[in-house]
Structure 1
Amino acid sequence: MSESHALAPAEQTLAERDTHLSEDAWALILEATPATTRRAYRDDWNRFTRWCATQERTPLPATAETLAQYATSLAMDGKAPATIGRAMAAIAKAHEAAGHPVDRRGAREVLRGYRKRYAKAGGKTKRAPALTLTALRAMVATLDPDTLVGVRDRAVIVLGFAMGARRSELAALDLTDLEPHAEGIQVTVRISKTDKDGAGRIVAVPYGSNLATCPVRAVEQWRTALAHHGRESGPLFLRIDRHGRLGHVATGKGSPDGRITGETVAAIIRRAAVAAGLDAASAFSGHSLRRGFATAAYAAPDADLVRIARHGGWKEGSAALFGYLEEVDRWRKNPAAGIGL
């Protein structure tokens, strides 16, 4: 699946025009899917089309048998069930955009059987470890407050944790999305994975009780550094190259405004975790902030599940959120603990 579509020329017949979309229409369709997901889907689609070429099968429209066979091929290659599921979603998205129906029933059955085999063989779904407050403090302590990188990374980590933010949400923030408040700052999240209509949400971030991990003070320090470098508008979090240059973008790489990416957020967290000597540090990622916030907020005495979900932008009844909270309830509300064993 390509971000650019070779469409028929404008001087087509009226009948032909009824079956084609303009470049503007394709662009809006593509923007309905988050950029990170779009890139992953594009890679999945390209792998599928290459496989179809070697197997002499038609990728678009693909038959149910082709999808089932491709899912089987990925399983035989030892791919994780989640990887296969995403590949099927990418193929379905390509068919939807092109106006073709797609039958994934056979592929779903293949995947269902493979999940059981994968589990029996000891395979586990990879999950980013939840970041605890103790780990957060240890990571922040490794950052040099006298360097641009240290100030930026502290702001990324503690703001991301306080918001329960996705890494893509952090990367997308602009300076104008932050509004001072007597109790802290209000952050407008304009684009979110689960906000399909772009309605946005406002996240209230209060002052912290610990100076080292206070998200409001960390962001204020970073904004002061940005202002010192003449940056008072545009992206909140910018790239910093190995020469210490702020917002510098190598030719042909990265966003031209110098904005960091979601991958940069993950790299910042992983680097700080390694520096702090945390167990399984290399497994930490951008999602560790989100999981860590959910479990820490739910473990608090006055936890409010509805408020936690709204704060972090989880859908009502989110299976992912309930999965995080189960980690807390597994011991706090263990049904075997009070039966007299």
Structure 2
Amino acid sequence: MPPENKDQASNPVDAKHSIDNNGNERTHDVVISENVISVPNSVAGSGSLDRLIETAQGYAEKSTSENTNLAYKKDWEYFCSWCRRRGADHLEPDPQVIGLYITELASPQDASPPLAVSTIERRLSGLSWNFKQRGLVLDRQDRHISTVLAGIQREHARPPKQKEALLAEDIIKMISILPFDLRGMRDKAILLIGYAGGLRRSEIVGLDIGKDQTEDSGGWIDTFEDGAVIWVKGKTGWRDVEIGRGSTDATCPIHALEQWLHYSKIIHGPIFRAVTRDHSSVKADRLNDKHISRLIKKCVAETGIGPGKGDAERVLCFSGHSLRAGLASSAEVDERYVQRHLGHASAEMTRQYQRRRDRFRVNLTKAAGL
């Protein structure tokens, strides 16, 4: 695809038509309103209705995660830009046009690289969602879309590139190099809680001390003598994650968390926060989830764990998801317990996370009599 024009793509537009004095049709660009919730034209507006609309709009925005909303917004902007360059109506969910759009995503007419199949599928989902918000329906089963997408999947699909899992021995090496100061204690608690809980980056930094303490809370922790229960608001809703105490204080996630909270003097609100430059105190702001990726990559580089010869090559093999994959790969328990712990809807999804598992534990060849 040709490079996107940032100025054009920043504001999706509606096409508004008018007739000039010579009888020619003119097209004007009008910025699309971000608010997709409204009342019928037959209902008279009022201050109370406006407040309800604003509240309803807030609920609508929370129907999908913030990252998904941002991705879908970008998907719509790219599509609008493409339609402008091709002279197509972006507000018409025409399967023929969209079939051509995804074709160009897979086989650009210029020298730009093609998008991955997973990205094209996400772009298509983003378009469906955006059309739906505008009261329009995109028929993804139409042959102009379904057959083209099936061909793209058959021609260009590749096995997913998975990040390396951080195993227990890796986590122990990583926490061993952390300093015994506020920043080090915080990062140790992040690594151990994230690993033992099989948590996503956003789930880790979204935790509060207790329930309903902040508006942007993604969960909280209840601590007990034998462990802790983490209540997490994940992709599929709320779930509880049980983390037992470790065999030693040095590697115990609960002990690390208690140490961090004790020395940081945090008693309310976000658990994981930024630390001042002199490491003497913590700030009020919740830590950004990108810190977890940076922390993992930094520890990988310093400890030398992972495949590859150079630090740059090894660092690229790991991400925040390596904690989640590490628990799934290391826990020697029944698969169904791992599935519940991670909040997966299917065992197949859990198996995708298990980088190191006994693939032949169930031997159907022998079971069939061979």
Band the TM-score falls in, shorter-chain normalisation: 0.7 to 0.9
1:175 and 2:209 are equivalent in the alignment: yes
TM-score computed with the length of structure 1 as normaliser: 0.80
Distance apart, 1:26 and its partner CA: 2.0
Match of 1:313 in 2: 343
Within-5 A mapping of 1:1-341 = 5-6=34-35, 13-14=42-43, 22-76=53-107, 77-105=113-141, 106-119=144-157, 123-144=158-179, 146-176=180-210, 177-189=220-232, 191-195=233-237, 200-227=238-265, 231-240=266-275, 244=279, 248=283, 258-278=285-305, 279=307, 280-297=314-331, 300=332, 303-315=333-345, 317-325=346-354, 327-330=356-359, 332-333=361-362
Show structure 1 runs of 5+ residues with no match. 249-256
Structure with greater helix share of residues: 1
Deviation sequence 1:284-309 (CA, Å, 0-9, x none): 11211111111212xx1xx2233222
Change (3 A) 1:15 1:98: farther
Residue type at the aligned position of 2:348: A
Separation (CA, whole Å) in 1 of partners of 2:250 and 2:196: 13
Aligned to 1:329, the other structure's residue is in SS state coil
TM-score computed with the length of structure 2 as normaliser: 0.75
Residue type at the aligned position of 1:226: S
Identity %: 29
Deviation sequence 1:165-218 (CA, Å, 0-9, x none): 1222112111112222111112111x11012xxxx2222211111433210111
Change (3 A) 1:246 1:31: farther
Separation (CA, whole Å) in 2 of partners of 1:329 and 1:209: 25
Whether contact under 8 Å (2:98, 2:145) holds in the other structure is: yes
Aligned to 1:22, the other structure's residue is in SS state helix
Aligned to 1:71, the other structure's residue is in SS state helix
Distance apart, 1:163 and its partner CA: 0.8
Match of 2:311 in 1: none
Match of 1:251 in 2: none
Aligned to 2:242, the other structure's residue is in SS state strand
Separation (CA, whole Å) in 2 of partners of 1:10 and 1:107: 33
Whether contact under 8 Å (2:36, 2:134) holds in the other structure is: no
Change (3 A) 1:111 1:266: farther
Change (3 A) 1:155 1:164: same
Change (3 A) 1:233 1:108: farther
Deviation sequence 1:232-259 (CA, Å, 0-9, x none): 21111113365648665xxxxxxxx511
Residue type at the aligned position of 1:222: W
Distance apart, 1:9 and its partner CA: 9.0
More displaced, 317-326 or 129-138?
317-326
Residue type at the aligned position of 2:324: R
Separation (CA, whole Å) in 2 of partners of 1:153 and 1:4: 42
Separation (CA, whole Å) in 2 of partners of 1:9 and 1:192: 29
Show structure 2 runs of 5+ residues with no match. 1-10, 13-31, 108-112, 211-219, 308-313
Distance apart, 1:324 and its partner CA: 2.8
Q: How big is the alpha-carbon RMSD for the aligned residues of Structure 1 and Structure 2? A: 3.3
